[in-house]
């Protein structure tokens, strides 16, 4: 059952990624990227990384995608120019796509070493306790320096915004 769920979530991520590239409208591409991030969060959750899954959803699918959509809407790109499409390009690209998929399947089956038995839920480094312990012991100094840099950036943004208003 775990492998079926893994393949389902991985398939959703791949299909959303393909849709992300093929969409011509930027908002549709952004929504496809949210689908990729949601599927990756489900994969993290299945592997036992509850905190990483929650952070993936909150930070990337939430905050970063809202920022992307605001930028896209503020740019007001408008209508794109029509590019002439040639039918022969599609027909030439189809065999190349199948050749690429066959090459990737060959690489995965023959060249890469077998990974052994995958144990779902055995990933313990993604728990909130493990991340908190490492963050406030081993990586305390980089964490504090990053916090101070973010605080300086926020104060700088406020100062720049106040000068523009006056």
What pLDDT digit, counting tens, does each position of 59-84 carry? 888 888 888 877 777 776 666 666 66
Same domain, residue pair 22 and 54: yes
**Could you tell me which of 126, 41, 12, 28 has the C-alpha nearest to residue 80?**
28
Same domain, residue pair 37 and 97: yes
Q: Quote the radius of gyration of the chain (alpha carbons, Å).
A: 22
pTM of the model: 0.58
**Could you tell me which of 65, 80, 8 has the C-alpha nearest to residue 31?**
65
Same domain, residue pair 91 and 110: yes
Structurally, the chain folds into a number of domains equal to 2
- Give the pLDDT score at 60: 85
Same domain, residue pair 126 and 166: no
What pLDDT digit, counting tens, does each position of 6-23 carry? 889 999 999 999 999 988
Torsion sign across C-alpha atoms 128, 131, 137, 143:
negative
Distance spanning both ends of the chain, measured CA to CA = 62
Same domain, residue pair 49 and 109: yes
* pLDDT greater than 90 at residue 88: no
Same domain, residue pair 142 and 64: no
Does residue 102 or residue 109 have the better pLDDT? 102
Does residue 157 or residue 85 have the better pLDDT? 157
* Domain containing residue 53: 2-78+85-135
């Amino acid at each position: 059952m775990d492998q079926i769920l893994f393949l389902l979530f991985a398939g959703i991520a791949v299909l959303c990624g393909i849709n992300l590239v093929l969409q011509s409208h930027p908002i549709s591409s952004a929504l496809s990227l949210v689908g990729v991030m949601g599927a990756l969060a489900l994969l993290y959750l299945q592997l036992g990384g509850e905190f990483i899954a929650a952070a993936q959803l909150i930070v990337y699918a939430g905050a970063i995608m809202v920022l992307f959509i605001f930028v896209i809407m503020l740019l007001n790109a408008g209508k794109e120019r029509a590019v002439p499409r040639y039918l022969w390009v599609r027909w030439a690209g189809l065999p190349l796509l199948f050749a690429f998929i066959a090459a990737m399947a060959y690489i995965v089956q023959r060249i890469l070493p077998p990974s052994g038995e995958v144990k779902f839920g055995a990933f313990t480094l993604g728990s909130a306790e493990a991340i908190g312990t490492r963050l406030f012991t081993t990586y305390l100094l980089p964490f504090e320096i990053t916090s101070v840099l973010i605080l300086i950036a926020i104060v700088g943004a406020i100062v720049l915004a106040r000068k523009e208003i006056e």
